[in-house]
Amino acid sequence: MPSLQSRKASAAFSQAEYESLAEFRYHLARFLRRRKDAARAEGLQPQQYELLLAVSGLPKDKQPTIKEIAAQLCLEHHTVVELADRLEKQGLLVRHSFPLDKRVALLHVTRSGQGVVGRIAGFSFTQLRDEAPLLIMSLRRILERRTRR
């Protein structure tokens, strides 16, 4: 990811570009806010839902370890451990030892956890069908303006 300092300081943006970026940020924030609200309605903190979703949606070629899920969520290892502890206490997640290395824990979503993540995911897909056109349109505006420069 390029740093802010690596960009030329003289790169000026037009008012229309700022407006396009602000519009996209707004639509994306609205979408993410609804996911957070849906998680809370299910009795979860938003990061707990994100952990359940990351474990549920992890590609088959990856192991659902704390380290892998931390990378998926861009969180620190200890934060994922704490989230997993709380989800385990709620009966939504279990840990099993990795057969090749007993020090490594594999995370698995329980049947109850699958129900919760499924309900929120269902809500997300429904909302995406409604919100995607605005997100896509605002992203296209950004991309079109940047490619014309």
CATH 1.20.120.80 fits 15-147, yes or no: no
> What does pTM read for this prediction?
0.83
Cα 107 to Cα 87: distance, rounded to the nearest angstrom: 11
Angle, in degrees to the nearest 10, between helices 66-73 and 77-89: 110
pLDDT tens for each residue of 25-80? 999 999 999 999 999 999 999 999 999 999 999 999 999 999 999 999 999 999 99
Band of pLDDT at residue 101, cut at 50, 70 and 90? confident
pLDDT of residue 4: 58
Cα 11 to Cα 9: distance, rounded to the nearest angstrom: 6
Tokens of 54: 């990351």
pLDDT of residue 17: 86
Domains of the chain: which residue ranges?
15-147
Helices (H), the chain: 15-41, 46-56, 66-73, 77-89, 111-147
